[in-house]
Structure 1
Amino acid sequence: MASPDSDLDDERSVTIRCQDNSSVGVTFCDRFSFDADSVHYAVELRAPGLSARVNEVVAWIWDGDLTTFLEELAADYRGWDGERSWQTNDRDLTVSAVFRSGGYVGLTWTSRPWPHAAGGWGASVTTWLEAGEQMTSLAAEVRNFLTGGQP
């Protein structure tokens, strides 16, 4: 389940925990912006035996929006066939979604910083959430994080 977290510096973050295994999760944190055209943030993936972090994922205002993708998944709470996916313009963060019976959405979060560099790396984790309220809540929390709380 997604949950906004605050540390002593009052920095915003969003943590998505897998409903099936709470030790599997994704955290969006360390948001900053140089200008009005983009938002930069870190993404941390974790699972038993895995800890990976990409320090600077960039969301451009003209890119397809992650929150729009999540909102569309939440709106289709009755399910869909196949896999849906979204990625950043730089392809350093990809999210794939599948629907399983019982009303659950599997989100596979894949980080591949510097995807064209020699010796690059990649890591993935899958979080399972309820298709309705948990997906709607996740979309709202990610939107709040990416916009810095601005409407």
Structure 2
Amino acid sequence: MISRGDNFDELTCVAIRCQDNSSVEVRFRDRYSSDDYCVHYAVEVQAPGLSARLDGAVAWIGDASDRAPFLEKLVADFTGWEGERCWETNDRDLDVAAVFRSGGHIGLTWTLRPWRNAAGGWSASVTTQLETGGQMASLASDIRHFLEDRVG
């Protein structure tokens, strides 16, 4: 699920592949920071016939409402829940909707929506399915590490 730079401790990319169809993928990559308050990064989604990229997504350092805590809450609720749980960036250019599925799986629908207020804006979504146990725990940990590591 993860890619590392030359320094093993440097997490350069997090890739989430659908358990049912490995051609469906979400990648967090190209992280950079201009200050101690936030991290900017890109998100790419791919599926058969679809390739889309969102540049300039923002994660605020130490934000308890960010995506890592959202994913960690899904891991903690491994016995399941009713309905859909949602999370979105402050700019609403990336959102994730989680649905608990039978057999101990979670469906995560990742939607990119850059330029949402501009004429001609677009959106693209893919859904990945992961196991509630180890796969979700690994994803939550990798996302936290990716977003919180200090970058130069």
Query: Shorter-chain TM-score: what band?
Result: over 0.9
Query: Do structure 1's residue 136 and structure 2's residue 137 form an aligned pair?
Result: yes
d(CA) in 1 for partners of 2:101 and 2:11?
34
Higher alpha-carbon deviation: 5-14 or 95-104:
5-14
d(CA) in 2 for partners of 1:95 and 1:133?
19
TM-score by length of 2: 0.92
Q: May I ask how many residue pairs the two structures share in their alignment?
A: 148
d(CA) in 1 for partners of 2:71 and 2:97?
10
* Matched position secondary structure for 2:34: coil
Q: Which runs of 5+ in 2 are unaligned?
A: none
Q: Which runs of 5+ in 1 are unaligned?
A: none
d(CA) in 2 for partners of 1:47 and 1:142?
21
8 Å contact 1:67–1:139 — kept in the other structure?
yes
8 Å contact 1:63–1:88 — kept in the other structure?
no
Deviations 1:48-93 (A, max 9, x none): 0000001110112347210000000001111000000000000000
* Matched position secondary structure for 1:140: helix
Deviations 1:85-107 (A, max 9, x none): 00000000000000011000000
8 Å contact 2:11–2:145 — kept in the other structure?
no
- Structure 1 segments, 4+ long, off by >4 Å, are 7-11
Query: Do structure 1's residue 104 and structure 2's residue 105 form an aligned pair?
Result: yes
Identity %: 60
Instruction: Look up the match of 2:21.
Output: 21
Query: Which AA in structure 2 matches 1:37?
Result: Y
Instruction: Look up the match of 2:41.
Output: 41
Alignment of 1:43-62 (within 5 A): 43-61=43-61, 62=63
Instruction: Look up the match of 1:94.
Output: 95
RMSD: 1.8
Instruction: Look up the match of 2:119.
Output: 118
TM-score by length of 1: 0.92
